[in-house]
Each structure stands twice: as structure tokens, then as C-alpha cells.
Amino acid sequence: MKLTGAEILWESLRREGVEVVFGYPGGANLPIYDALPKFPIRHVLVRHEQGAAHMADGYARASGKVGVAMATSGPGATNLVTGIATAMMDSSPTVFITGQVVSKFIGYDAFQETDVTGITLPITKHNYLVTDVRELGHVVREAFYIARTGRPGPVLIDITKDAQQNSTNWEYDDSPIQLPGYRPDLSPSEKDFQTAVELIQSAERPIILAGRGVLLSSAMNELKEFAERTNTPVAMTLLGLSGFPSSHPLYLGMMGMHGEAWVNHAIQNADLLLAFGMRFDDRVTGNLKTYAPNARKIHLDIDPSETNKNVKVDVALIGNLRDTLRQLLPRIQPCEHSDWLSFIDSLKGESAVRDIQNMPDNGKLHAPHVIFDIWRLTNGKALVVTDVGQNQMWTAQYYHQDIPGYFISSGGLGTMGFGLPAAIGAKFARPEAEVWVVCGDGGFQMTQAELATIAQEGIKINIAIINNGYLGMVRQWQEFFYDSRYTATPMRSPDFVKIAEAHGLTGLRVTKRDEVEEAVQRARQSKETVLIDFRVEKEDSVYPMVPAGADLHQMIRRPLPNPVLENMENDI
């Protein structure tokens, strides 16, 4: 069958199960767009290519499938870069397809020519420059295979315009992909299993550190079975949230820089850390020299490059997490750690007193109250996407997750502007879900143009803007570490309600806590997208906080209110 390169591309995407593509047309990818109407794939026209990248990422995280974004050459391709890096840092299976100038013009500074494969080499699992139409079909199959296997991640395909336009006789090839040197199916040795079992059975104060690998490998049931059999508490990384139900008795909460205080103290007192699909990021460990000083460490991960990279471990079990746990579980005998769990429970008391959720609001609107009320009113069943900053940490702390995959956030890169477009992608992945995106006023403005995409596509999401008039997390650092010199962090924003209305959407404003419930319920009942501008306290901070480079247990805590302090002193 004779097809053009553009037709081969779309047919290959269809064969890979692609149902939706996020993109923006331009001169160098016009042949691709011209062929699109022949194929049953929905195209979502974004307002900025960065939005397309985050939508593909959000789609991948919410669906477990490969997300796809497209852009033209030059500025179109470079506008994808932040989203590609975000997907790389967070192991999100994505394929990015860019147009490139005609082959004979490459290297001559042609109009809108950019070496996008060179630019993205450090932030992709692999990338391709296709100049020959005969290579295109096989390249697409390889790209999807690489993106979804092993440790998932982004792959970029750059296709010259002549490769899109030229024709060739082509038949789809479904033979197994063979990539010399690429081994996505590693498995632990018997000796490593034996060492791990000995450490697990002898531990008295173990903790499971569960990361995004739990979700990527669909190891939620295996994690739960392991925790219950060994009676081991489970702490979560930011991107691991929703991988273990927060309502479970063994659930501890989030660890790290803005994790729960009792979680960080427990880690520092543990004698065994079981790292499941996490990479010991610096925001998790604090000062490496004092991190869990008395703990042996077992690391289960699919990527051998992550073991012993940041934290030296006693044994590494390299392979797909679910498969590894399935092999490990039959070797494990039930354990009892009641004294250890009681000790951890004793750590929670003071934290409960310091929790703003348990303090009177005094008529003020605090961000944690907003997030908690959204959780309460949605019964914890919404798919929640966050932007980056204080809004992200408050959502991680106060929107408790029981449904796997229903918490989506930019972790490793910490990309402001991620939230709104990622939520759009998530909605396309799960149209039946109630989707909420929580943004700060700063991050929202970076990609607010995608409101037009929402309006054009007619999709329904709910948008909660935590509007404190600052670049909140940066302001917090300035308050704590720079003598409250708020340089370049006060932020004037447009009227977000009018911005929503300008796009034909509904906008609401909330300034008091007793207004939250009505606004949230109105948003939930509406059939169209609703934006709520929550005007919260301007100088509230996220607590606890581990200062950069500090020991994990050296947290800045929320000050206790004076009456509580007096009562505690009297008790003493």
C-alpha cells in the first residue's frame, strides 16, 4: 500500500492505540495535519506548545497509556522542551512529534530550523531525526516501545517535511521490537532476595518508602499485601501519593521537605528502609550525612542507575516493582511491630495540635481549609491535579488520596504552569472523573491561555486558584531565610473571574470560609468548567519545612497558638 510519510505516521499512531493528540500546526508539520482527517484520532488545538506537552503528560499519568504531543519546527519544538523535561524527571510515558525543515536545508539555518534532537538529548529516553519516509513506521513503533517499557519516559521523533510528503509502499510490521543493548526486563538474583528477606525478618523498626514506581508498575495490591503481612507503616513521596490508601491504618503520610513531622522523625528512628519505586530525591532525604543513620536499606527499583546514586543501600532488587514484590512475598513470614507503631502514634500528638486544620480560622480564609473542604465535599473521590508551589504542598497534605492515580503533580522538575494543561489531559484520559486542578495565582497565569482550549473543546474541569497575591513558596523562603525581603514576589493578578467569563466559562470568588461550600458545590453541579478564585491569607506558610541541606528531623514547625502553649506549659 502506497502512503505518504504523514499517512504512515497517523496509521502507526492508530495502531499504537492513540486516541487523542495535543498539538499546534505550523509550516514544517503541515503535511501531517493535512492527512489527519483520514484517521479516527482526535486532535486538541492548544494555545501554546508547552500546554500540549503538559496535556500529553497529564493524559499519560491519568490513563497509563502513552501521551502524544505535536509541534512544528523551531519555536514550536523548543516550546515543548519544558514539558519534555517534566515528563523525563517524573518518568511519564510520552511521545513528542515535531516537524523539521526539508532535509537538504538542515544545517543551513533555514527558516524555523532548530536542532531539536540535540536540544532534547539530555531530557529524553531516546530521540530520532527521520529524513527517509521508509524509516518512519518502524521509528514510531520503537518510540512507543521505549516510552512505555522499563522506566517510562519521553521519546521525541523529529520528521523532516520531505519525509512527511514523500510516498512509499508500506505495510504495518507487528514483529517484536529488538533493540540491542536495551534491557527493560531486568530481575533480581536469588542471592539478593535472600539478603533482603533476612533484613526484613530481623527488622524491629521498618518503614516502607513508596514512590511513583508503585503506580507505574501497578503494584498497589502487592504493596498493600506486603505492608499488612509485615505490619510495616508506609510513607509516601509526593509522586507516590494515591499508591497506598490514606485511609489504611498503616498509612503514615508524605515524607520529606514538607512531609508530616512524625513521618520524618520515624524515618530518622527506623532500623530498616524499604524503598519501593522511589529515587531518594534531595527533597525527601534532607542532609544525606544524617539521613536515617541507623537504618539498613533495601531499594526496589526498575532503573539500576538510581541505586546507590544518592543513598548507599544494603541490597538492591532491580526489576519491575510489581513483579519483584510478587517474587518476594512468598518468601516473607508475617511480622509484628506493635511497639514501633505505638511509638509512631505517639509522635502524632503534637503535630495534631500544630495542624492549622484543628485551629480556629478567626474568620480568615486559609488555603489548607480550602483544600480540606474540597476533599470533604468531593468525598475524596476527585482526580486532583496540582500546579507547583504552596498550592501543591497544601493539596498533598490535605486532599487525602484513596484512589490510585488520582493525584497528579510535577515533582522532579517542579514546573509552574503544569497544573491547568495537565488537568485538561487528565480529563481526556478519564472523561468520567470529577477533575479538580489546584493552582497558585502565579502558576495559573503561566498557562492560563489554555482556558481557551477548554472552551473550544467543551470539556468540564473545576479550577481552584489559591490566590495569595505572592509567588507564595518563594515568598516563604524569603520570610524564613532572607529576613522577609520580598523581592519580586508580590504579584498583581488580573480579575480571574472576568478572565473565566471572557472565555465563556463560569467564574466565582470566595473570600470567607463560610462561602467555600456553596462555591464548591456550585462548581460540582455545573456542566461547564468553573473557576473559583479563593482569596486566601497572603503570608501563610507551608508547615513543616525542612530547610535545604538540613537534617530531615530539623523541621520548621507551625507556631503553636498562645492558649495552646500556655496549656502545654501548665501540663508540664
93 domain-assigned? yes
- Give CA separation, 566 vs 359, 360, 372, in Å: 15, 17, 28
CB-based contacts of 280, cutoff 8 Å, min separation 6 = 306, 309, 310, 311
Q: What is the pLDDT of residue 570?
A: 39
Return the active site residues. 49, 111-112, 161, 473
Per-residue pLDDT band for 362 (boundaries 50, 70, 90) equals confident
Beta-carbon contacts of residue 115 (< 8 Å; ≥ 6 apart): none
Distances from the Cα of 37 to the Cα of 26, 170, 236, 278, 479, angstroms: 17, 20, 44, 42, 55
CA distance 526 to 464: 14
Q: Is residue 315 domain-resident? A: yes
Which contiguous run of DSSP H or E holds residue 476? helix 472-481
pLDDT digits (tens, 9 = 90+) for 405-422: 999 999 999 999 999 999
Q: Using CB atoms within 10 A of its CB, is residue 17 exposed (0-12), middle (13-18) or buried (19+)?
A: exposed
**Is residue 428 one of the residues assigned to a domain?**
yes
Position 356 scores a pLDDT of 87
pLDDT-derived band at 353 (thresholds 50, 70, 90) equals: confident
Q: Which residues pair with 97 in a beta bridge?
A: 70, 157
> What's phi and psi for 298, nearest 5 deg?
-120, 130
Q: Is the pLDDT of residue 113 over 90?
A: yes
Cβ pair 291, 285 in contact under 8 A: yes
- Residue 557 inside a domain? The answer is no
Q: How confident is the model at residue 350 (pLDDT cuts 50, 70, 90)?
A: confident
Other beta carbons within 10 Å of 440: 29
Q: In this structure, are 80 and 141 located in the same domain?
A: yes
- Whether residues 328 and 376 fall in one domain: no
Residues 233 and 250: beta-carbon distance below 8 Å: yes
CATH code, domain with 305: 3.40.50.1220
Interatomic CA distance for residues 158 and 96, integer angstroms: 8
Do 266 and 231 share a structural domain?
Answer: yes
Examine the pLDDT at 566 and tell me if it is beyond 90: no
CB neighbour list of residue 338: distance below 8 Å, 6 or more residues apart = 231
Task: Answer whether residue 351 shows pLDDT above 90.
Answer: no
296 and 157 share one domain = no
- DSSP label of 109: T
What pLDDT band is residue 495 in, cutting at 50, 70 and 90? very high
- The residue from 123, 138, 169 where one domain ends is 169
Enter the pTM of the model.
Answer: 0.96
Query: Are 226 and 283 in the same domain?
Result: yes
Tell me what pLDDT residue 572 has: 31
Same domain, 93 and 208: no
pLDDT exceeds 60 at position 484: yes
Range of the domain at 435: 367-535
Residue 568: pLDDT band (50, 70, 90) is very low
With cut-offs at 50, 70 and 90, classify the pLDDT of residue 565.
very low
- Find out whether 409 and 396 touch, Cβ atoms under 8 Å: yes
CB 139 within 8 A of CB 146: no
Which of these ranges, 316-325, 360-369, 537-546, has the smallest mean pLDDT? 360-369
Q: Let me know whether 208 and 129 are in one domain.
A: no
* Total count of domains within the chain: 3
On whether both 132 and 236 belong to a single domain, the answer is no
What single string gives the DSSP state of each residue in 350-384? HHHHH-GGGS--TT---HHHHHHHHHHHTTT-SEE
- Give Cβ neighbours of residue 211 (< 8 Å, ≥ 6 apart): 236, 237, 239, 240, 243, 275, 276, 277, 278, 279
- The answer to the question of residue 318 being in a domain is yes
Are 7 and 163 a contacting pair, CB within 8 Å? no
Per-residue pLDDT reduced to its tens digit, 3-30:
999 999 999 999 999 999 999 999 999 9
287 and 330 fall within a common domain: yes
> Does some domain include residue 110?
yes
Radius of gyration of the CA atoms of the chain, in A = 25
Q: Which of 288, 312, 347 is the last residue of a domain?
A: 347
Checking if the pLDDT of 153 tops 60, the result is yes
Task: Report the length, in residues, of the chain.
Answer: 572
For residues 404 and 470, state if they share a domain: yes
CATH number at residue 431: 3.40.50.970
pLDDT in tens, 202-228: 999 999 999 999 999 999 999 999 999
Residue 381 lies in a domain: yes
Average pLDDT, the chain: 96
Nearest Cα neighbor of 374 from 245, 521, 527 is 521
**Secondary structure string (H, E, C) spanning 230-243:** HCCCEEECCCCCCC
Of 252, 225, 249, whose CA–CA distance to 236 is shortest?
252
Answer yes or no: do 96 and 11 share one domain: yes
HSE (side-chain half, CA atoms, 13 Å) at 137 = 20
CB-based contacts of 70, cutoff 8 Å, min separation 6: 21, 22, 23, 24, 29, 32, 52, 96, 97, 98
Residues 371, 343, single domain; the answer is no
Cα separation, 372 vs 391, in Å, equals 12
C-alpha distances in Å from residue 542, one per residue of 119, 355, 532, 554: 36, 11, 21, 15
- The answer to whether position 355 is within a domain reads no
